[in-house]
Amino acid sequence: MVQFLIGFWCGCMATILVGCIAFSNRIRQFKEEKEAGVEPKKEAQPEGVAGCPEGPCVLLVDDSKLSRTVLKELLGKHELDIYEAGSGTESLKLVKEHSFDLIFIDQHMPGMNGDETLQYLRERGGIPDDVPVVAVGSTVRKEHEEEYRGKGYAACLGKPLQENRLNEILARLLPKKETDEKPEDFSYRKGLTNFDGNEEVYRETLVLFADLWEERKEQLRQFLEEGNMPEYAILIHAIKGDARTLGAEGLGELAYAQELQAKAGDGEAVEKGFAKVMREGDKTAEYLKRMYS
């Protein structure tokens, strides 16, 4: 009996040791090929790779289950199909089974780090170059985004995670439905600059602008019906200024054109452009509420 137990234990240890050696050799081979500049054989995604039925397909690659859970909860507020992998090697199986629209990769993982995982998935997993990948990590900073883009990432996201930063990334990188289009020439970065980088105040102001839109729209409609161009000019001037400050350049330009027409007393021109301004205002308000409320 003792000999059996000893033999069984030795067999288990041998199996574990062989597995560890195989994994280490695989990582070493990948690193050596990378350092030598060898172009590994690129495995294309097989035909019939499944998409996601419910919405855009997102992959989270992070060795920390807690970090994946936090990110998954934030992403859960959007209509997304979310898959998780605890390592770069684990993610390879998923990318061969599903066609992802966006991938988040933690930068500090045992085995392969974030950069190595990104290259591994591009070269061995057949991930197309146009699939955006986001670098995630506790040492990742938004101001380092240009550096990460040079490595092949589309954006970077620091830890602890900030929901408004995540929403900005999703709005920029996820495929858009027609009903989810951004307002014309909307720039979050430009608007944030106008608020000296204070994201909390900026976000609150975006939502306030959206909440006030219906009331302002009805006031504009009333002034137009009454032929009250002076009051119309005052209100559309305020909308123009607010829109430009918030980074909604498309709405700002349309409002500016209406302001000039109203100041000139050209009610006919104002009426012709009214519907276009209202559509852009509605789209802007809906987008801001959806993204920043």
Rounded-to-integer distance, Cα 134 and Cα 154, Å: 6
Closest Cα partner for 164 from 77, 241, 59? 77
Q: How far apart (Å, rounded) are the C-alpha atoms in residues 250 and 234?
A: 19
Answer whether 257's CB lies under 8 Å from 217's CB: no
Give the Cα separation of 279 and 92 in Å (integer): 44
pLDDT of 197: 83
> What are 195's two structure tokens?
């608020």
User: Over 70: is that where the pLDDT of 53 sits?
Assistant: no
Angle at CA of residue 127, ends 126 and 129, nearest 5°: 120
For 119-156, give one letter per residue: b (16+ CB within 10 A) or e: bbbbbbbbbeeebbbbbbbeebebeebeebeeeebbbb
| Percent of the chain's residues with pLDDT above 90 | 44
18 pLDDT higher than 60? no
pLDDT of 41 above 90: no
Confidence of residue 55 (pLDDT cuts 50, 70, 90): low
Q: Does pTM top 0.85 for this prediction? A: no
Tens digits of per-residue pLDDT, 147-186? 888 888 989 999 999 888 898 899 888 865 544 566 878 8
Closest among 185, 173, 197, 293 to 248, alpha carbons compared: 185
Q: Please tell me the predicted confidence (pLDDT) of residue 26.
A: 41
Residue 200 has pLDDT above 90, yes or no: no
Is the pLDDT reported for residue 89 higher than 70?
yes
| pLDDT greater at residue 263 or residue 31 | 263
| Distance separating alpha carbons of residues 191 and 143, to the nearest angstrom | 16
List the beta bridge partners of residue 186: 248
- Per-residue confidence (pLDDT) for residue 19, from 0 to 100: 39
Q: Which residues contact 148 (CB under 8 A, 6 or more apart)?
A: 135, 140, 155, 156
Output the pLDDT for position 221.
93
Element (H, E) at 238: helix 229-246
**Of the candidates 216, 238, 227, 219, the residue with the CA atom closest to the CA atom of residue 269:** 227
Amino acid at 15: T
Mean local confidence (pLDDT), 18-43: 43
pLDDT in tens, 57-79: 899 999 999 999 999 999 988 88
| Residue 35 pLDDT exceeds 60 | no
Mean pLDDT, the chain, rounded, equals 81
